[in-house]
Structure 1
Amino acid sequence: MCLTCVLPMLLPAAPTPFPTAAPDAGWAGREVGGRITWTGCAGFLLEVDGTRICFDPYASNPGVRDTLFRPARPNQALITETFGKVDAIFVGHTHFDHAMDVAPLALASGCVVHGSATTTEICRRQGVDRLHTVADGTKVEIGPFTVEAIASRHGKVPVAGRIDVLELSGTGMPRTVFRWPRGQVFAYRVEVGGLAIHLQTSAGIEDAPLARQEPVDVLIACLAARQGTDRYFQRLGEQLRPKVIVPCHHDNFFRPLSEPPRPVARLDWPAFLDDVAALSDAYGTRLVQLPRGVPAPL
């Protein structure tokens, strides 16, 4: 057998976008005795000492037909199955794939929704009354968690960006999911048990708010629409110097959660692996992937 044929069998296989097994305990470099679940898209559920908080919870995933032609509705049963009861919800921005399921989950849980003025207003229109409008630098303590809001930007989406709705209008709800407004965009820093996690759930960057951030143990980074942000991973790496990077928002959110995940449009997974290699060379950053819907030790 020739050397060219043997080498691929000897070298480790490159990571694929969607693993099925959770990483071993200690993957974050520090154990806090909790769990973290990537729930799909930009959604994450964190649980420590019985306190459960979530970010951008979204499970309904209406298909393309409903998205284009019908006023898609949240799937309450699936939301409950995916998230259960939570103690707080944090929203990065108000596009449907980040915020459409927030109000039903908040009403079922009786918890506070934290987010932009647009987020809190659209939740108010759906009957939620426990709301907290955050600003850049706002810090919230919930159980063992301290969560800081960090002003940020949305990634640049070709074509869709030209018709993007920025703010709510009128008094009712958006007629289709594409009319859900963006509102102000936030990243979040979570500190718990000495562990620092930065959630960059949209692929844009606001330089000044990012510049005040200290290094983190874990960077959770949105991959969708990152190509429009100059030196996206380099800028995050230079400031945050993460020990671990976890990709998110790289699955096709028009597919139901009952089906295996598929890549979002323009994912360019090989380019992401090149960016991870550069972070590894510069800061020793390790790639850790969370399987969708499977709790991992934290």
Structure 2
Amino acid sequence: MIPYFKNKYLQTLLQCFLFGILVLANLQCVLRPSGDLREFESYFPHENPNSLIQKGKVRVTFLGTTSILLDDGETQVLTDGFFTRPSLWKTAFSKIESDPIILASVLEKAKINRLKGIFVCHSHYDHAMDSPFVAKLTNAKLFGSNSTINVGLGAGLDMANMEEFQIGKPIKLGKFVITVLESKHTPPFRILGKTNATDPNFPNITSPLIQPVKAFAYIEGGTFDFYIQHGKNKIVIKSSTNFVMGAYDKFKADVLFLGIAQLSLQPKQFQEEFFDETIQKLNPKFIIPIHWDNFFKPLNKPLEPNLKLGDDFDANMNALLKRSAKDQIQVQLMQGFETIDLF
């Protein structure tokens, strides 16, 4: 109960003060991690092989969000390559741009020194923003939608160093064969009155996107999955928590990198269909969850789960673990810069 003040100015001031405390308390709650990684300690490998990659083997390094580095000792392939990771406040209230110092440091730490291709799953900033600059620094080729090509043009990449996706057409890089599959973005959500849904009047980035720009200038431009073969071994990278019915009918995978962002926020029927169309169809030996971390935090710090503001990491993981246990499939989480041999 607010005490009575004869001075209406003081009463209004007190009301504003108490309202401010309430807002700050709510913000502190929703800006906390949506889960506790300690609850899933047993799912982390906690081993980073330092030996040379043996012939025929494939090593993976996780670089946060959906940035996945595959390496067979001769050729490296990268998905997305989002390393700058601007803060929440900068992303929400300012223009954003790639940080060349951060990019160089990640390339060095992750030993990205024989990169041949960067594959961008869609053109939102947390996937496409850094990709053309990584391509320039490594002389790798950028593969993506027409929207991603325009991000590349805005970064000064030449068309000779980019290639627009052709669904279903295999791309050979060393011993890796990458086939792009059509997919869907995670269902739209609304936070603080704003939605990430694509405006049907502006579904693509139609001209070169020159940094710095607002985050919402990075329009989805279509979403894609990657089916990657290396000898007899098969990998699927699904960055978004959604599916195209029947897309995996003719595919199997040894390893599935599965986007789980906002999984538990979807209706139960959606969750079951999502698992049926991914885990059940592909029947992988093990699953590595991706797109679970708070990408407003820098990559040089330990990764934390997505914010309570828009996700529930604990519920996402528990839903995945329940389904994977039913299908007797191993699940393994990876920290930033953590490396394991897949095969």
Q: Same fold (TM over 0.5)?
A: yes
2: CA distance between counterparts of 1:163 and 1:294?
Answer: 33
Structure 2 unaligned regions, length at least 5 = 1-37
Aligned to 2:143: 114
Q: Percent identity?
A: 21
* 1:210 partner SS: coil
1: CA distance between counterparts of 2:331 and 2:48?
Answer: 11
1:70 to 73, 87, 94: 94
Q: How many residues align?
A: 280
* AA partner of residue 221 (structure 1): L
1:287 to 306, 309, 331: 331
Distance apart, 1:20 and its partner CA: 7.2
Aligned to 1:95: 124
1:229-268 deviation per Cα after TM superposition (whole angstroms, max 9, x unaligned):
4422232122111110101110000011122221113133
TM-score, length basis structure 1: 0.85
Aligned to 1:5: none
* 1:87 partner SS: strand
1:184-231 deviation per Cα after TM superposition (whole angstroms, max 9, x unaligned):
11000111132111100111111243333x221111001113343442
Confirm or deny: 8 A CA contact 1:17 1:269 kept in the other structure: no
* AA partner of residue 42 (structure 1): T
Aligned to 1:60: 84
Aligned to 2:221: 183
Check if 1:276 corresponds to 2:318. Answer: no
Aligned to 1:161: 196
Q: 1:18 to 1:286 in 2, by over 3 A?
A: closer
* 1:207 partner SS: coil
Check if 1:15 corresponds to 2:51. Answer: no
Structure 1 unaligned regions, length at least 5 = 1-12, 26-30
Check if 1:263 corresponds to 2:305. Answer: yes
Q: 1:172 to 1:286 in 2, by over 3 A?
A: closer
Q: CA RMSD in A?
A: 2.5
* AA partner of residue 248 (structure 1): I
2: CA distance between counterparts of 1:185 and 1:269?
Answer: 26
1:92-150 deviation per Cα after TM superposition (whole angstroms, max 9, x unaligned):
00101011110111111112111111111221222112111113212101001011101
Aligned to 2:254: 217
1:19-59 deviation per Cα after TM superposition (whole angstroms, max 9, x unaligned):
4713789xxxxx94232101000110011032111001111
* 2:40 partner SS: coil
| Structure (1 or 2) with the larger CA radius of gyration | 2
Aligned to 2:239: 201
Confirm or deny: 8 A CA contact 1:49 1:144 kept in the other structure: no
